[in-house]
Amino acid sequence: MAKNVTKVVKLNIDAGKATPAPPVGTVLGPAGINLQEFCTKYNDATRDRMGDILPVEITIYEDRTFDFVIKTPPASFLIKKAAKAKKGSAKGSKEVVATITREQLKEIAETKLPDLNAYDVESAMKIVEGTATNMGVKVED
């Protein structure tokens, strides 16, 4: 018999660093799930990607059990990491703050492909390139 879903929560958490303290505890505490159990499972599942910020979708059931799905890091995070930039441009595409190569763009697109609405790497590259442009990151050939 299928379990009834009570709530679906989406969070961005540092890989391997989930703790019952805020923001995780603040969001999941009222749902009544075991925070320490969630943190332990999440940290074990993300230990190999330390330093990345990972979106996680947590499905909470009526009996206070839960499942979670870890997504790929946000495109903006991957672009900043590849460009070695602290943050994107405050003026969007009008101000260039960093540059990345086509090869770096392709790597980011391949990483993001499962979570994007694209069927091939070329389409994913266009999506990621648009994000980079809006962040003030120039893509060079």
CATH number at residue 22: 3.30.1550.10
Separation between Cα atoms, residue 55 and residue 12, nearest integer Å: 4
Average pLDDT over residues 128-132: 90
How crowded is the C-beta side of 108, counted as CA atoms within 13 Å? 26
Percent of the chain with pLDDT over 90: 19
Domain count, the chain: 2
Name the nearest CA neighbour of 81 among 55, 53, 42: 53
Q: Are 20 and 45 within one domain?
A: yes
Q: Are 62 and 80 within one domain?
A: no
Q: Which two tokens stand for residue 127?
A: 């999506």
Q: Are 100 and 124 within one domain?
A: yes
Mean per-residue pLDDT of the chain: 87
Average pLDDT over residues 78-86: 88
Question: The domain containing residue 107 runs over which residues?
Answer: 75-140
State the pairing for strand pair 98-101/66-70.
Answer: unpaired
What is the pLDDT at residue 57? 93
Q: pLDDT grade, residue 103 (50/70/90)?
A: very high
Radius of gyration of the chain (CA): 18
What is the pLDDT at residue 21? 82
Q: Is the separation of the CB atoms in 44 and 59 below 8 Å? A: no
Q: Are 85 and 29 within one domain?
A: no
**What stretches of the chain show up as alpha helix (H) in DSSP?**
24-28, 35-46, 75-83, 102-112, 121-135
